[in-house]
Amino acid sequence: MIDMVNTAEQPLIRVEKLTIRFGHQTVLKNIDLAVPDGQTLALIGESGCGKSVLIKTLVGLLEPVKGKVEFDGHDMHKLNEKELAGLRQRFGFVFQNAALFDSMTVGQNVAFPLEQLGDFSPSEVREQVLERLHEVGLPKNVVTKSPAELSGGMRKRVAVARALIVNPEVLLYDEPTTGLDPVMSDVINELIIRTRRRTPVTSIVVTHDMHTVRRVADRVVMLSPYARLAGGQPQILFDGTPEQLDQTTDRRVRQFVNGEAGERLLELAGDTSN
Residues that bind other proteins (CB under 8 A): 56, 59-61, 81, 85-86, 88-89, 91, 93, 95-97, 99-102, 112-113, 116, 166
Q: DSSP code of 269?
A: H
Q: Which helix (H) or strand (E) holds 206?
A: strand 202-206
For the CB of residue 114, give the shortest distance to other proteins in the complex, in Å: 10
Q: DSSP code of 14?
A: E
Q: Which is nearer to other proteins, 15 or 171 (CB)?
A: 171
Q: Which is nearer to other proteins, 56 or 132 (CB)?
A: 56
DSSP 18-85: EEEEETTEEEEEEEEEEE-TT-EEEEEESTTSSHHHHHHHHTTSS--SEEEEEETTEEGGGS-HHHHH
For the CB of residue 60, give the shortest distance to other proteins in the complex, in Å: 8
Dihedral angle computed from the Cα positions of residues 237, 240, 243 and 246, in that order, rounded to the nearest 10 degrees: -20
CB-CB contact of 98 with 163 (8 Å) = no
For the CB of residue 183, give the shortest distance to other proteins in the complex, in Å: 25
| Local structure of 251: helix, strand or coil | helix
Q: Which is nearer to other proteins, 171 or 220 (CB)?
A: 171
Q: Which is nearer to other proteins, 97 or 199 (CB)?
A: 97
Dmax of the chain from CA atoms?
Answer: 67
| Local structure of 91: helix, strand or coil | strand
Q: Which is nearer to other proteins, 34 or 87 (CB)?
A: 87
Q: Which is nearer to other proteins, 174 or 239 (CB)?
A: 174
Q: What's the first-to-final CA gap in the chain, in angstroms?
A: 37
CA 203 to mean position of chain CA atoms: 7
